[in-house]
Amino acid sequence: MGLLSFDKSCVEFWGRKWNIQDIFVVVVFLALHCLCLFAPLHFNWRAFWVAMALSLLTSLGETLSYHRNLAHRSFTLPKWLEYSFAYRGVLSLQGSPVEWVSTHRYHHQFTDTGKDPHSPIKGFWHGHMGWIFDSSYRFGQFGGLKNVEDLKKQLFYRFLRHTNLLHSVLLGGLLYAAGGFSFLVWGMGLRMVLIFHGTFLVNSAGHMWGKKPWNTGDTSRNNWWVALLALGEGWHKNHHAFEYSGLEWWKIDFTWCIIKFLQAIGLATDVKVPTQIQKQRKASKSRILATQN
């Protein structure tokens, strides 16, 4: 997976037809990255802490809600709390819950094959973010959103799907009204760039660098520094092996800590963790040998 793979990804990116949606996504990405460049010139502590707080809240909307709650149903929340976390995910500009969950479920169904929406087997650029700019590829090759009927049945998620971008625009307006351009730069520009690439590294670096303690038949890996950046999502081999959290307590997983806290106070129920039998079935040869010795 070297330079040739990267070059092929770039050719596919530039050599295809673009539609209005793809161009719009690129413009939004470029605008946020350009806005981020103003951060050193408009630094103040209020803007910094607003950005950090929003980053944590909206990132949890993606990791805890979109990923672990909605995509994999690894625990259950009361509807009011489920919807609250999902709304925070919308403010991370990662798409609506319906679209995000659909893409992720297809990723698990077709991991590291030609149908995987964002595998780096097509190049680091494709796995990291190139796939986002090709809506025909993302939504056309699998038959659309047929794998998220559980979400499409709910009015709240249909509403978020059709008003997805509006909520971030409103947030940007509120930030500007509250703190001027510095709040907009830090609360939207810098925050979103950090969230974007923290998430994207799970799809790219999480399939290229790190350890493989479980036999999953794909390239997913455990990567500690991605886990730190993405609130625990970097333990990607663990996730592809079992789809649940809570494997090893010493591996820092901030999202799992929040889930356990919600469970402790009675808000998260039916919290799923892999059984010992499941772990034994997925144990790699190296892990088995280490256990035997």
**Integer CA distances (angstroms), 18 to 15, 28, 131, 156, in order:** 9, 15, 13, 31
Of 8-12, 68-72, 229-233, least confident by mean pLDDT is 8-12
Residue-level pLDDT at 123? 82
Q: In the chain, pLDDT over 70 holds for what percent of residues?
A: 89
Per-residue pLDDT, 284: 67
pLDDT tens digits, residue range 131-147? 888 777 666 666 678 89
Amino acid at 226: V
CB 42 within 8 A of CB 180: no
Residues 159-180 have pLDDT tens digits of 999 999 999 999 999 999 999 9
State the residue for tokens 């680091």: 124
Predicted local distance difference test score (pLDDT) of residue 278: 83
pLDDT at 72: 96
**Tell me, what's the pLDDT at 105?**
93
User: CA-CA distance, 256 to 260, in Å (whole number)?
Assistant: 6
Q: Copy the structure tokens of residue 20.
A: 């209005």
Model pTM score: 0.90
Q: What is the pLDDT of residue 1?
A: 43
pLDDT of residue 139: 64
pLDDT grade for 293, boundaries at 50, 70 and 90:
very low
Average per-residue pLDDT for the chain: 88
Instruction: Supply the pLDDT for residue 3.
Output: 40
Give the separation between CA 210 and CA 221, rounded to whole angstroms: 5
Q: Tens of pLDDT along 254-289?
A: 999 999 999 999 999 999 998 888 888 888 655 544
Whether pLDDT at 244 is above 50: yes
What's the confidence (pLDDT) of residue 23?
87
Distance set, CA 88 to CA 55, 75, 84, 96, 161 (Å)? 10, 18, 7, 11, 14
pLDDT of residue 133: 83
